[in-house]
Structure 1
Amino acid sequence: MMQNQRALRFLILAIAAITMLRAVETVAAGDDSRIQIESVDIGFAGTYKVGHWAPVWVTISGVAEPADLRVELVTVDGDGVQITYRDDRELWWYSSAQGQRRLLQYIKTGRTTAPLTVRILSGDRVLAERGFAARELPTPRLSTQQLILVLGPSIGENEAVRRRLRDQADQVSIAQVEQATELPRRWQGYAAVNIAIVATSQVSVLEAMDGEQFQAFQQWLALGGRLVFCVGQRGDEVLGPGSRFAAMAPGTLIEVSPQRTTSGLEDFASATERLDTAGGQRIRRFAVPMTVLSDVRGVVESSEIGGPTGQLPTIVRHAYGLGQVTFLAFDPDLPPFDRWQGRPSLVARVLQSGYARRGQMDEELESRQLTHLGYDDLIGQFRAALDQFVGVVRVDFSWVVSLIVIYVLLIGPVDYYMLKRFQRWHWTWLTFPLAVLGFALLAVLLSRMTSGDRIHINHMDLVDVDVQRSLIQGTSWLHLYSPSSQTFNSQLDVHPGLPQRTKGSNDQLFTWQGLPGDGLGGLNTRATEALFTQGYALRQFSDDQGRHRSEMTGMPIQISSSKALMARWSMETELPDTGALAVDPNGLLSGRLINPLEVELSDCQVLYRNWSYPLTGTIGPGATVAFEGLRPRNLEWRLTRRQVVETREIGTPWDQSSWDVPRILEILMFYQAAGGRRYTGLTHRYQPHLDLSEHLRTGQAILVGRSAQPATSLLRDGQSQAELTDRHWTFYRIVYPVE
């Protein structure tokens, strides 16, 4: 009896000690056990695209200071493999209603029906976890849809798409954000955006951004984004001295002036109604406040007679780094534009590029071809070409079917016939296992013969250099093939042939490459079953020099399979003298340009407007190119391999099944200049930042050349994999201003 009482007393004391210990742990942890994940918001007002980065806002409760917390997001990549996104950089958050906290993170989903799991961690300890089924999340747009982001008031873009771009309406999504707190703080959060629209008739969302937000937006724009920037009655405030927005204007502010004639805008919109009679009645004392600029650069698409200089540009397209700004010197969201019948046509033309307007209907009415190949975007063809490895034979499905038929015949009719002929039915105990074993050995032998016994890598680097802003952007694609199932810990080492005088931001984003389309492994596939029970992680961090980096750990590749990876990286550097270019009276290039790189370029040409200037030989580091005596050729003819044979124009049709990697990249780089979808039969919407056709129209010349030296290297566990690279290509595009 006494022993039972002692045992009971000991049990009670043990339970009390454990309870007190847990209470102490809870107090020491700041009561993290009360953290609850309330909700998640993805993209811009719930709008985002599969296969593209998007901001994710995680709303939590039960914590006062989440600065020391970390957010992990778990979903699937483009191959259906589970991936965990981690960011070890400083977590950004703000307080929302009812004491809740909203934490900002970024994600890239690989399926339209992908689920999402959110984890809140402190160190390596999981404090809260919640899973969201696909039906609980906003449905992502397709990877090749156009996304228009409206920052602030509308300028009539919905009506423009619905009424004037009817054939493209199902390919366009519009998201409107009216609070700066809901915007990303890293440029990758804008990666899915095709066009951003900012109206400044009131204090705009762009003006309300803090320094970090504006830097992210500015970086996205300079790395290939497109902005429609409307500055009318508040031009003095928006573009005045010291304004951080002045660089987005195509000239220097003079004043804001009332404009009483608007025939240029009416012609641009092909309007049947005058602006001064908008709404059906003539406006008394009609005047539109317009921002007047001097020293305008770029392409003036519409202008009016008036202003201090006698000519007032009203719509101007100009380059901003590797991106583009369309500047409107008026406020299309204010009267009389808001009730003008011509506004939808005007906005529709503004949203389109110059090349797209030239043949818009031909492109959009083109029947969708090549569905049997699983893609209708040019990036899909590019990815298929990079998936061809030296020494690896892709087994055609017909081979598999033929072997199965032979196997069935051998163990069935052939075996029966042989046993019947020799009247040795009991031999089947030997012939059947021998047939099975023989075909198993044949399968292994064929696998070794076709798959090889080592890892293969195909590697492409495209490096863009904007000499005016000393900005460098790189896009790298790496396709890995593995003959056996294994995992990889991968990073990318960036070493372009540039002067090592970095002066600004230095970012790198290394991730998986998606396949746009509905085919096997395509981003539009609705399958959600993970290929591996064990996924991998993509971690973003800042190194000891403050540079943003990313790495993938535990990335699995199945036996005899490949993995497509891609990276976007950028830096600012100090470039040496790059020469000076001008235009002669005939509209042709004159002057000289200098190669600012520290690598030699071959297969060079200089592109300007609709001309191509082929260059012979190589261009070494610091070498000068003069244009006297150079004979230009028609750029579209060169891109489409068109020529005249016996007084007839003969073009080379685009081969949608070609695996010629440099040729496909050539069209990716200047897609619209080559004729766009009218020529290729494919869209170019998944990674449109690769196309610099519009820069040729806005007063920029581009030197294109190839280098023998790679600009990046794949690292596995910190070791270079250069010896496993079978094929690599490195192309440079250097963008020069033309005076």
Structure 2
Amino acid sequence: MALLDSHVFRGLASFVFSLAVVLCPGRSSGDVAASELTVELGVSGVWKLGHAVPARITLPPELAGQAQYVVFESIDGDGVNVRYQQKISGVSSENSDFWMTVRIGRNKTPLSVRVYDDEPSEGEPVASGQLLGDEVVGLPSDQRLVLVLGETMGLEEVVRSSVEGGASFTIAQVSQAKGLPIDWRTLAGYDLAVLSSAGDELINSLTEPQIACLDTWVRRGGRSIVCLGTGEPLPEILLKWIPGEVEGLINVRNPGAIEALVPTEFPLRNLAVNRIGFPAGEVPPAEILLALRSGNQSLPWWISTAYGHGKIDVIASDLANDTLAQWPDRNLLWKKLVGDSLGANRGDESPLAKNVSDTSYLGYDDLAGQLRATLDVFGGVRVVSFGQLAAVLLGILVIVGPVDYFVSVRWLGRPQFSWFFAGAVLVAACIALTWFYLSIRPNEIRVNTAQIIDIDTRSGDVNGSLWAHVYSGTARTVDVQVVDNQAESVGATLQLDWQPLPGRGLGGLKSMQSLSSGMPAYSVIASSGESNAVSVQGVGVPAAGTKCFSSTWLSHTEIVGQSELQELDVADQLSGQLVNPLSVDLREPALFYHNWYYSLDSRIPAGGSFTIAPDRIPQGITRRLNRRRVIDDADMITPWQPADRGNLDRLLELMMFYSAANGPTYTSLHHRFHHQLDHSHLMDSDLAVLIARVDDPWASVQVDAGGQGGVEVVQETDRAWCRILIPVKPPERELSRFRADGSSR
């Protein structure tokens, strides 16, 4: 009987299980699909902690038409779980790959991905995948990183070798077009991109979003080296980047100028060089750093040009051709080519290594850390120092100790009274401290922001970077969004995410400590609307604490006026009419050109102008950046204090021109995390840079306390600086020479 009951039970169980499978096919297919969902981080598996990371997700082909949303669960720099959510688009059964952008704040932390066929809040995932802790290992946030499309052309010969300044770097090589992401933010952690037209098959197979990704990254301040091979025609993106026309190959028998560029004992012979021509009778729109002789011709071989706020170096030969590939000192040539992008101007000089130890007590060794510490200072929040707290505790001990003894024993002669006296003192102290704590802790939400806006007057392109700190007196969850305030802006694309802190300090990316304090997971949700705006929802802010955010955006604005500036024939200086190209007033403006800066009026109104006379004498750029002063016939530099938290304007200025200010030795801090903001390379171009503060911020942060009605949001610090590119005409002497020659080749 027992055996019969067992068989009946098993049969009934099998029937129920089969019925469940039939009635729930969606759940079953999801379980099967979960094992097929794959996730790849970075470019060729290379990515950096704290920076935007491209995640390529591959769906099973049968889910390509069903999947609607994806949720990527990561962890931020404070150890709090963060969910990135976006709508899936552009997938099909033939191509089921898609990209999303995330940030990862801790190494060796399990990550998960879930795909839904409806709103994530309304259903179960149809597929899921997970990356185990051992699979989540990124590079340090300050690691040098080079993107190579196609062949490395021998660049690997100098990887992790000593270049100018002792820098080392890692190569992320893209060998197939599908390996390049489509979001320019995922390239922000790269120091350099290297392309070769010899790999035109790879470059020509890039999609429009991938080309736009590369192009936008360079325009925002990225640097690229383009090597010209023998392939024809040139890919579209290279036609935009090369400041001239490629007119064919010439065999240079004796390229001695290259041998003179590096210390070598090995001669070069018979090098294929692309002839690059410029419009006849015009000054070349680029700087020719090295030219080779072939007969009576001068062939530009190394050309440097500004592209937006970035820089492109064009090499007229393929560094992978047989002549250079067999040259024993090709690695020395590479060191010379990449030294400017990966070496001294990025803050790796040996003096800095000695100075950083002096600032280790601060908990940061990067300007990003000082920026974060500065924005953490709120004028409406009173901070109690450790010394003040120690003084209060010492005072209580004195009262319940010697004072209690003197009053109870020596004066009143009633030792038993000591119990009542000490108890009353402690109760009163608790009440007083509670009242004091509530009085210095504001109930409202307070916000500090800083932003740098880059504007190119030639194209009207605008790109910005913003940092925001949100303070709350009580623990609460908030929703945060960044909005564009400019009515003239067109097609604004804004992004928002948590703000990383490089280093080993408390809350740093290298710190193993978690500051989550039980904070709930929050979501970073990409809008599917035309603005592509991103909001952060349900983020927890601890009591009397802050949560830090960073934002970037792209837009286009109307230029209301163009400047007419020209370089003088002597002294490398300017004259002409400087025009405010914006519809807002410019405060505290300064004009930079080459190694000079011009002090201007304290305010230039919207559309207003300022005349720079030929006899106006500028000052050296370090007079402004390092605050050089002459005191008692001695040239003195105002020292920079890495611990200073009260000079936000100067800090932003140093971030914009770190190398020009000799930042490593001057600040004793690195500038690696936001290195793309350092546009000191523009000092070598034929562009003037106008910096100024604006009263009305270009973008603003909106904070919503959700269901907690009546909570006031107070905007405290809100500093916005513009960096405006202005073209400069060449000197009249140079113009006359090229007009007389009838050619600029």
Letter of the 2:591 partner, please give it.
Answer: V
Q: Which residue of 1 aligns with 2:43?
A: 44
Out of 286, 298, 304, the residue aligned to residue 292 of structure 2 is: 304
CA 179–420 in structure 1, closer or farther in 2 if over 3 Å, else same:
farther
Q: Which residue of 2 aligns with 1:283?
A: none
Q: Distance in 2 between matches of 1:118 and 1:318?
A: 42
Q: Which residue of 1 aligns with 2:603?
A: 618
1:263 aligns with 2:256: yes
Question: What is the deviation of 1:132?
Answer: 3.5
The number of residues matched between the two structures is 704
Partners of 2:588 and 2:601 within 8 A in 1: yes
Q: Which runs of 5 or more residues in structure 2 are unaligned? A: 730-745
Q: Secondary structure at the match of 1:104?
A: strand
Partners of 1:714 and 1:722 within 8 A in 2: no
Q: Which residue of 1 aligns with 2:144?
A: 146
Question: What is the deviation of 1:492?
Answer: 0.9
Q: Secondary structure at the match of 1:376?
A: coil
CA 528–48 in structure 1, closer or farther in 2 if over 3 Å, else same:
farther
> Over residues 628-672 of structure 1, what are the superposed CA-to-partner deviations in whole Å (9 max), with x where a residue is unaligned?
243211112221111333443221121111220001111111111
Question: What is the deviation of 1:65?
Answer: 2.0
Q: Distance in 2 between matches of 1:654 and 1:674?
A: 11
Letter of the 2:585 partner, please give it.
Answer: E
Partners of 1:480 and 1:564 within 8 A in 2: yes
> Over residues 398-431 of structure 1, what are the superposed CA-to-partner deviations in whole Å (9 max), with x where a residue is unaligned?
4445555666777789879988776655974x56
Q: Distance in 2 between matches of 1:649 and 1:204?
A: 57
Q: Distance in 1 between matches of 2:166 and 2:582?
A: 41
Q: Secondary structure at the match of 2:665?
A: helix
Partners of 1:703 and 1:733 within 8 A in 2: yes
> Over residues 256-304 of structure 1, what are the superposed CA-to-partner deviations in whole Å (9 max), with x where a residue is unaligned?
322223222222233332223xxxxxxxxx2323342325323322211
Q: Distance in 2 between matches of 1:377 and 1:444?
A: 37
Q: Which runs of 5 or more residues in structure 1 are unaligned? A: 277-285
Out of 196, 207, 211, the residue aligned to residue 210 of structure 1 is: 207
Bigger shift: residues 154-163 or 377-386: 154-163
Q: Distance in 1 between matches of 2:154 and 2:711?
A: 52
1:237 aligns with 2:217: no
Q: Which residue of 2 aligns with 1:555?
A: 539
5 Å-filtered alignment, 1:471-550, equals: 471-496=461-486, 499-500=488-489, 502=490, 505-528=491-514, 530-543=516-529, 546-550=530-534
Bigger shift: residues 346-355 or 259-268: 346-355
CA RMSD of aligned residues (A): 3.3
Out of 641, 655, 660, the residue aligned to residue 641 of structure 2 is: 655
Question: What is the deviation of 1:479?
Answer: 1.4
Out of 101, 106, 109, the residue aligned to residue 106 of structure 1 is: 101
Identity %: 25
Partners of 1:259 and 1:290 within 8 A in 2: no
Letter of the 1:238 partner, please give it.
Answer: L
Q: Which residue of 1 aligns with 2:583?
A: 598
Letter of the 1:158 partner, please give it.
Answer: E
Partners of 1:156 and 1:344 within 8 A in 2: yes
5 Å-filtered alignment, 1:122-521, equals: 122-123=117-118, 124=120, 125-137=124-136, 139-165=137-163, 168-169=166-167, 171-203=168-200, 205-234=202-231, 236-238=232-234, 243-276=236-269, 286-295=270-279, 296-306=284-294, 310-353=297-340, 357=344, 361-362=349-350, 365-369=353-357, 370-403=359-392, 428=419, 434=424, 437-496=427-486, 499-500=488-489, 502=490, 505-521=491-507
CA 208–420 in structure 1, closer or farther in 2 if over 3 Å, else same:
farther
CA 723–354 in structure 1, closer or farther in 2 if over 3 Å, else same:
same
Partners of 1:82 and 1:532 within 8 A in 2: no
Question: What is the deviation of 1:518?
Answer: 0.7
Q: Secondary structure at the match of 2:199?
A: coil
CA 307–381 in structure 1, closer or farther in 2 if over 3 Å, else same:
farther
Q: Distance in 2 between matches of 1:410 and 1:80?
A: 42
Q: Distance in 1 between matches of 2:170 and 2:650?
A: 32
> Over residues 183-223 of structure 1, what are the superposed CA-to-partner deviations in whole Å (9 max), with x where a residue is unaligned?
11222222222211112223353332111211122122212
Q: Distance in 1 between matches of 2:322 and 2:402?
A: 85
Bigger shift: residues 678-687 or 114-123: 114-123
Partners of 1:197 and 1:229 within 8 A in 2: yes
Letter of the 1:270 partner, please give it.
Answer: P
Partners of 2:405 and 2:418 within 8 A in 1: no
Question: What is the deviation of 1:521?
Answer: 1.0
Q: Distance in 2 between matches of 1:274 and 1:676?
A: 38
Letter of the 2:150 partner, please give it.
Answer: G
Question: What is the deviation of 1:360?
Answer: 6.2
Q: Secondary structure at the match of 2:204?
A: helix
Q: Distance in 2 between matches of 1:617 and 1:420?
A: 70
Partners of 1:362 and 1:678 within 8 A in 2: no
Bigger shift: residues 105-114 or 476-485: 105-114
Q: Secondary structure at the match of 2:215?
A: helix
5 Å-filtered alignment, 1:561-600, equals: 561-586=545-570, 587-600=572-585
Letter of the 2:154 partner, please give it.
Answer: G
Q: Distance in 2 between matches of 1:187 and 1:92?
A: 20
Question: What is the deviation of 1:607?
Answer: 0.7
Question: What is the deviation of 1:33?
Answer: 3.7
1:57 aligns with 2:56: yes
Partners of 1:185 and 1:212 within 8 A in 2: yes
Q: Distance in 2 between matches of 1:414 and 1:334?
A: 89
Normalised to the residue count of structure 1, the TM-score between the two structures is 0.87
Q: Secondary structure at the match of 2:496?
A: strand
Q: Distance in 1 between matches of 2:579 and 2:253?
A: 47
Partners of 2:502 and 2:508 within 8 A in 1: yes
Q: Distance in 2 between matches of 1:438 and 1:226?
A: 64
CA 103–709 in structure 1, closer or farther in 2 if over 3 Å, else same:
closer
Letter of the 2:521 partner, please give it.
Answer: G
Q: Secondary structure at the match of 2:25?
A: helix
Letter of the 2:261 partner, please give it.
Answer: F
Partners of 1:254 and 1:294 within 8 A in 2: no
Q: Distance in 1 between matches of 2:92 and 2:47?
A: 21
1:83 aligns with 2:82: yes
Q: Secondary structure at the match of 2:603?
A: coil
CA 408–85 in structure 1, closer or farther in 2 if over 3 Å, else same:
farther
Q: Distance in 2 between matches of 1:118 and 1:411?
A: 59
Letter of the 2:482 partner, please give it.
Answer: L
Question: What is the deviation of 1:104?
Answer: 2.6
Question: What is the deviation of 1:373?
Answer: 0.4
Q: Distance in 1 between matches of 2:326 and 2:396?
A: 74
CA 317–447 in structure 1, closer or farther in 2 if over 3 Å, else same:
farther
Question: What is the deviation of 1:83?
Answer: 0.8
Letter of the 1:328 partner, please give it.
Answer: I
Bigger shift: residues 711-720 or 650-659: 711-720
CA 351–456 in structure 1, closer or farther in 2 if over 3 Å, else same:
same
Q: Secondary structure at the match of 1:534?
A: coil
Partners of 1:34 and 1:63 within 8 A in 2: no
